[in-house]
Amino acid sequence: MKIEDVKNICVVGAGNMGHQIALQCAISGYTVKCTDVIPEGLKKAEDFAGNYLAGQVKKGKMEETQVKEIEKRISFTPRLEEAAKDADYVIEAILERLELKRKVFAQLDEIAPAHAILATNSSYIVSSKIADATNRPSQVCNLHFFNPPLVMKLVEVVQGAHVSDETAQVSMHLCEKMGKVPIHIKKEVRGFVLNRIIAAIKREAIWMLEMGVASFEDIDKACVYGAGHPMGPFRLNDLTGLDLSYDIAMELFRETGDMSDLPSPQLVERVAKGHFGQKTGKGWYDYTQE
C-alpha cells in the first residue's frame, strides 16, 4: 500500500487524544469515523469538533465553506464495525491497558480490510505486544501523537522488528500529510524517544517532591525559568492526565514486579480522589478558580 491509497481513517477511542486525532485527520482531507463504547464520550467529541471548527472561523483561520467540508468528512459512531469496515488506516487511542488493546486489535483484524494498517497511539506499550493478536503483524505499529494532537507537531513512528518497511513509510507519509513532524524510531524501546527523556526528568522531580527537597510548584519553576521548558513536569502531568500516568506505572509494575516502578504515593493519593489534572479541574494544581 502507498500513501495515495489511504482515503478512509478509523479512530478508535473518542477520549482526550482520540477525538483530536480524528479531527486532525478530517482537517487534513481524510474521511474519518471515530468510535467509542461510551456514548457520553462520543457526544463530547462531536461537540468539541463543532465548537473547535466554529472557533477557527471566528478567529479567521478557516472559511465557513472549508468547515462545512470538514464536517462532512468526520462522523462519530458507537459501532466498531461501522467505523472500521472501510478503513485504510486505523488509529487506536484507548486506555493504556495491554489486554484491552489486544482485544480491540483482534476485533479490528476481523473487521478492517486486509490492506489496512492498524496503529496504536500508545505512548509506552510497544506494538509487538499487540501484533500477534492479529493475522497481520507486519501492518501493526505505534503511531504516537502528543497531547494536544491538534497543536503538537511531533509524532513518533515506531518500527519494531515485526513491522514492514511499507507500513513504516506509509505511516511517516500520513503524518506529513497531516502537517506533523514524524520521527522514525527504528527499534522498540519503552517510552520511545521523547517520553524517555521526559520520564527521566519526571522521575527526579517526583523523588525531590517525595523527599521534601522542594514543592512541586518550585520544581516546575526551576524547569521553566532555568531550563527554558514551556512547562514543568507537574504542570505537564496535569495536561496529559494523572490517571494516564497511574495506568502506565501500574502496567510497568505488572510487567517487572519492581516496587520502584509503582506510582508515587502523592500521585496515587490524587488519582484516588479523582483529581486527574486539567480535565477534572484538579491535579497537582487547582484549576477550579481559573
Quick check: is 123 catalytic?
yes
CA distance 234 to 219: 8
Catalytic residue selected from 195, 237, 245, 264: 195
Q: Is 144 a catalytic residue?
A: yes
Q: Across the strands, what pairs with 118?
A: 90, 140
Does the annotation count 75 as an active-site position? no
CA pseudo-torsion sign 52, 58, 63, 65:
positive
**69 and 60 Cβ atoms separated by less than 8 Å:** no
CB-CB contact of 14 with 45 (8 Å): yes
Strand order, beta sheet including 154-158:
74-77, 31-35, 8-12, 89-92, 117-120, 140-145, 154-158, 181-185
Residue 28 CB partners (closer than 8 Å, separation 6+): 177, 178, 179
Q: How far is Cα 290 from Cα 285, in angstroms, rounded to an integer?
A: 11
Q: Which residues is 119 bridged to in the sheet?
A: 91, 141
Catalytic residue among 28, 123, 127, 264: 123
Residue 74 grid coordinates: 468526520
Cα 196-202-127 angle, rounded to 5 deg: 35
In this structure, are residues 189 and 196 in contact, taking their beta carbons and an 8 Å threshold?
yes
CA nearest neighbour of 188 among 261, 260, 111, 131: 131
Of 8, 19, 28, 144, catalytic? 144
Dihedral sign of CA atoms 111, 114, 119, 120 in order: positive
Selecting among 16, 92, 127, 156, the annotated active-site residue is: 156
Residue 28 is a catalytic residue: no
Which residues does the annotation mark as catalytic? 123, 144, 156, 195
